[in-house]
């Protein structure tokens, strides 16, 4: 048989097929349609320190190039997740990657500390969330904030951490290097792109939150490819400049996980 196993940040997966955060709930929602035992990992929907209600409806709309969404990271909070969803997932022979979200660095750290002794394999840190202490700018749009939150999370995490980068930046390689400097074990490329849909007949936004929204598949596939290209190009430039061998040069962080999903 073909060996399909892969390793990410020291964790062995039986195959590289895994769900994308936000598209699969926490596994139970799709377990009647998909055998979770066949997956390399289930990547859960974002988990916060307290329950989040999410945005008002409508919050999904079809577009010419796919769809847009503004779910607002609706989730039941870390206590319900730990008591209900983790025991359910442990019934299956698949790895568990928990997506973590928050509004402040303290929020992220609280979730990471709560998960420290839970039987989960990796943590994916969603840094596309707005930082309420810095005027609402997303953590992932400021390299200093990326490095700082990565470092704080890494101090408290007992599992390897994957930093999920935002594509809504001028240069994603800067954010990748900041995550690496903060101690990230892996990178996830990418979160959703911002966009907008307007109902021209009603002269209003298509979704209820009346702001920039998240563009989902298939439009994002090209952006994911470009993000990977940028990081690889940075690696090649470093190699050429230093004259080192390929094995001496690495893409920022230990590895990159291609992630296609919404929040």
Closest by Cα among 40, 257, 67, 50 to 164: 257
Token duo for residue 45:
């929907």
Q: What is the pLDDT along the chain (263 residues), one digit of tens a residue?
A: 899 999 999 999 999 999 999 989 999 999 999 999 999 999 999 999 999 999 999 999 888 777 888 899 999 999 999 999 999 999 999 999 999 999 999 999 999 999 999 999 999 999 988 777 777 778 999 999 999 999 999 999 999 999 999 988 999 999 999 999 999 999 998 888 888 888 889 998 899 887 665 666 555 555 666 677 777 777 666 666 655 433 333 333 334 443 333 33
CB atoms within 10 A of CB 64: 7
Judging by DSSP bridges, how do beta strands 95-100 and 41-43 pair with one another?
Answer: parallel
| Cβ 111 vs Cβ 49: under 8 Å | yes
C-alpha torsion sign, points 167, 169, 170, 173: negative
| Cβ 209 vs Cβ 72: under 8 Å | yes
Query: Alpha-carbon distance 116 to 123, whole Å?
Result: 10
Instruction: Confirm whether 101 is a catalytic residue.
Output: no
Query: Alpha-carbon distance 7 to 16, whole Å?
Result: 9
pLDDT at 262: 34
Q: What is the pTM of this model?
A: 0.85
Closest by Cα among 214, 233, 237, 229 to 71: 214
Query: Alpha-carbon distance 84 to 96, whole Å?
Result: 14
In this structure, the chain runs to a length of 263
Active-site hit among 129, 230, 255, 259: 129
Cis peptide before 190 (omega within 30 of 0): yes
pLDDT at 255: 41
> Torsions phi, psi of 42, nearest 5?
-105, 120
Token duo for residue 166:
């935002």
Query: Alpha-carbon distance 95 to 150, whole Å?
Result: 22
Q: Cα 168–171–174 angle (5° rounding)?
A: 115
């Amino acid at each position: 048989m073909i060996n399909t196993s892969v390793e990410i940040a020291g964790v062995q997966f039986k195959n590289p097929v895994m769900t994308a955060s936000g598209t699969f709930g926490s596994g139970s929602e799709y377990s009647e349609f998909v055998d979770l035992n066949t997956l390399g990992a289930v990547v859960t929907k974002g988990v916060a320190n307290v329950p989040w209600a999410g945005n008002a409806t409508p919050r999904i709309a079809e577009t010419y190039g796919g769809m847009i969404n503004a779910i607002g990271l609706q989730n039941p909070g870390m206590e319900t997740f730990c008591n209900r969803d983790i025991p359910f997932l442990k019934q299956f022979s698949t790895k568990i990657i928990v997506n973590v979200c928050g509004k402040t660095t303290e929020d992220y750290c609280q979730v990471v500390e709560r998960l420290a002794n839970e039987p989960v394999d990796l943590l994916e840190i969603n840094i596309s969330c707005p930082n309420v202490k810095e005027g609402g700018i997303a953590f992932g749009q400021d390299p200093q904030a990326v490095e700082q939150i990565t470092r704080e999370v890494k101090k408290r995490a007992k599992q390897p951490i994957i930093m999920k980068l935002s594509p809504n930046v001028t240069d994603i390689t800067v954010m990748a290097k900041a995550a690496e400097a903060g101690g990230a074990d892996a990178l996830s490329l990418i979160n959703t792109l911002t966009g907008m849909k307007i109902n021209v007949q009603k002269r209003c936004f298509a979704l209820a939150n009346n702001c920039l929204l998240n563009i989902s598949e298939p439009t994002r596939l090209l952006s994911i490819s470009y993000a990977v290209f940028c990081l690889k190009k940075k690696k090649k430039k470093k190699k050429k400049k230093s004259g080192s061998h390929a094995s001496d040069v690495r893409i920022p962080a230990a590895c990159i996980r291609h992630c296609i999903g919404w929040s």
